[in-house]
Amino acid sequence: MDLNFTATEESFRAEARAWLEANVPHNLPSGDTREGFDLHVLWEKKLYDARWSAVSWPTEFGGRGSSLWEWLIFEEEYYRAGGPQRVTQNGIFLLAPTIFEFGTDEQKATFLPRMAAADDLWCQGWSEPDAGSDLAGIKSRATRDDAAGGWILNGQKTWTTRGAFCNWVFGLFRTDPDAARHSGMTYMMVPLDAPGVTVRGVERLDGDEGFAEVFLDDVFVSDDLVLGGVNEGWGVAMATTSSERGLTLRSPGRYCAAADRLVDLWKRQSKIGTADPSLRDAVAQSWMEAEAYRLATLADVSGLVEGKSSGARSSLTKIFWSELDVNLNETAVRLLGPAGELIEGSPDAIDDGAWMKAFEFSLSGPIYAGTNEIQRNVVAERVLGLPRK
């Protein structure tokens, strides 16, 4: 057991820290609004220009070829410096691992560099009005058009995060309506500016237009936009969702930085005499939960670099980070007392209402990326081995 990083890793950290401290933008409006999204894309391009947007990718695709440890260090430094949400995350952290695993050389060369550079902005199209937790229940279908060399899509996707601002969507479509539920689906990448696509933004709980509905009406998708084999989409999709549950979507750096800000909030509130002493334990508990997630990640990554995958244990990870996030932000809002309900723009809002905003978003964590009820089923069945039926 050795909890020290190497000299090379430490110099990577120093380089990242120096660059981030000099460049991280503060007070960007939410990236889940039109205006904010555009400003976030400018920031993403700046990250890319300095080759920080996708550090773990090979250099030929726009990364730095960094190790998993360096990626974790970068994440820690990014959030420590107060870096904003990553509006490119669905591409860089969720689609890209799938392209690396299943994509053709041509697909890699076409999509990865544009993704790293924030030239293409990706959203995920899994959910449909009648298929949420039961993803295999999707109905959007793709019919073969041999003459044109591709597929004709019809149907509807929903809850598509930042769908109204992105230019590409990836997701599953039913290519064989007669096949069993988990077969007969194909993973496709669809340009949102194609004829027949209509996107309608939907306001989320926090008031941002962060959701969208995507309507597909005879949309043509050429064969080179199919990722993995035809009718093999379920297996390909599962690779993406396990990245989403695990480490790549939500690295510990984000929660450790939030926990440090909570401690700082406690100290500020104490100084002016408004910290409710009965919340001390909750502040400590939140800080410890973030630290526990960091330590669990160090253990997981130690296994990963030696070729031991965490498998279904990623479901435990998803439950843990989403619940710790709710506890942490709920504690912060309580600490604010009467000011807790004040939102962005209200004159007396503390930290410009950021805690209520974060609390609202944290409440979605137990829902997206597979609800925590579904994750508990997975833990029981695939980690503990309990009988399915």
Partner 1 sequence: MRFAFTDDQLLFRDTVGELFAKECAPEAVRWSWNDVTGRNPELWAALAEMGVTGLTVPEAHGGMGMNEVDLLPILTEAGRYAFPGPIVETIAVAAPMLAESAPAAIAERWLPGIADGSVIATVALTGQPFVTDAHIADVLLAQRDDRIFAVPAENLRLTPQTSVDGARRLFVAEWDEADAELIASGDEGLRCADRAFNRGAAATAAVLIGLSEQMIATTVAYVSERKQFGVPIGSFQAVKHHLADAELKVSFSRPSVWNAAYSIAHNVPDVDRDVSMAKCFASDAAEVASRKALQCHGAIGYTTEHDLHFWLKRSWALAAAWGDAAWHRRRVAHLLLDQG
Ligand X SMILES: Cc1cc2nc3c(=O)[nH]c(=O)nc-3n(C[C@H](O)[C@H](O)[C@H](O)COP(=O)(O)OP(=O)(O)OC[C@H]3O[C@@H](n4cnc5c(N)ncnc54)[C@H](O)[C@@H]3O)c2cc1C
Q: Which does 299 bind (CB under 5 to 8 A by kind): ligand X, partner 1, none?
A: partner 1
DSSP one-letter string for 131-150? BSS-GGG---EEEEETTTTE
Minimum CB separation of residue 251 from ligand X in Å reads 18
Q: Which does 284 bind (CB under 5 to 8 A by kind): partner 1, ligand X, none?
A: partner 1
The interface with ligand X within residues 132-171 (CB under 6 A) comprises: 132-133, 159-161
Give yes or no for residue 215 binding ligand X (CB under 6 A): no
Give yes or no for residue 385 binding partner 1 (CB under 8 A): yes
Give yes or no for residue 274 binding partner 1 (CB under 8 A): no
Are the C-beta atoms of 167 and 192 separated by less than 8 Å? yes
Joined tokens for residue 357: 């905003």
Are the C-beta atoms of 213 and 156 separated by less than 8 Å? yes
Are the C-beta atoms of 259 and 286 separated by less than 8 Å? yes
Give yes or no for residue 26 binding partner 1 (CB under 8 A): no
- Identify the residue whose tokens are 């949420």: 132
The residue among 66 and 127 lying less far from ligand X, judged by its C-beta, is 127
Joined tokens for residue 136: 């295999």
Give yes or no for residue 124 binding ligand X (CB under 6 A): yes
Residue 244 is among the residues annotated as catalytic for this protein: yes
b/e code 332-370 from CB counts within 10 Å (16+ = b): bbbbbeebbebeeeeeebbbebbbbbbbbbbbbbbeebb
Q: What is the dihedral of CA 98, 102, 105, 108, to 10 degrees?
A: -10
The residue among 62 and 365 lying less far from ligand X, judged by its C-beta, is 365
Which among 44, 75, 244, 330 is annotated as catalytic? 244
Give yes or no for residue 327 binding partner 1 (CB under 8 A): no
**Over 179-213, what HEC string results?**
CCCCCCEEEEEEECCCCCEEEEEECCCCCCCCEEE
Q: Which does 132 bind (CB under 5 to 8 A by kind): ligand X, partner 1, none?
A: ligand X
Give yes or no for residue 263 binding partner 1 (CB under 8 A): yes
**Over 25-63, what HEC string results?**
CCCCCCCCCHHHHHHHHHHHHHHHHCCCCCCCCCHHHCC
Give yes or no for residue 269 binding ligand X (CB under 6 A): no
From residue 287 to residue 326, what is the string marking binding to partner 1 with x (rule CB under 8 A)? xxx-xxx-xx-xx-xxx--x------x--x--xx------
Single residue of 153, 221, 349, 379 touching partner 1 by CB under 8 A: 379
Single residue of 10, 203, 352, 373 touching ligand X by CB under 6 A: 373
Closest alpha carbon to 68 in 301, 306, 303:
301
CA pair distance 192, 212, nearest whole angstrom: 12
The residue among 26 and 389 lying less far from partner 1, judged by its C-beta, is 389
CA pair distance 321, 312, nearest whole angstrom: 15
Joined tokens for residue 63: 């990364």
Minimum CB separation of residue 320 from ligand X in Å reads 17
Name the residues that contact partner 1, by CB under 8 A.
1-6, 9, 69, 263, 266-267, 270, 280-281, 283-285, 287-289, 291-293, 295-296, 298-299, 301-303, 306, 313, 316, 319-320, 373, 375-377, 379-381, 383-389
Name the residues that contact ligand X, by CB under 6 A.
123-127, 132-133, 159-161, 364, 367-368, 371, 373-374, 377
- Catalytically active residues, by annotation: 244
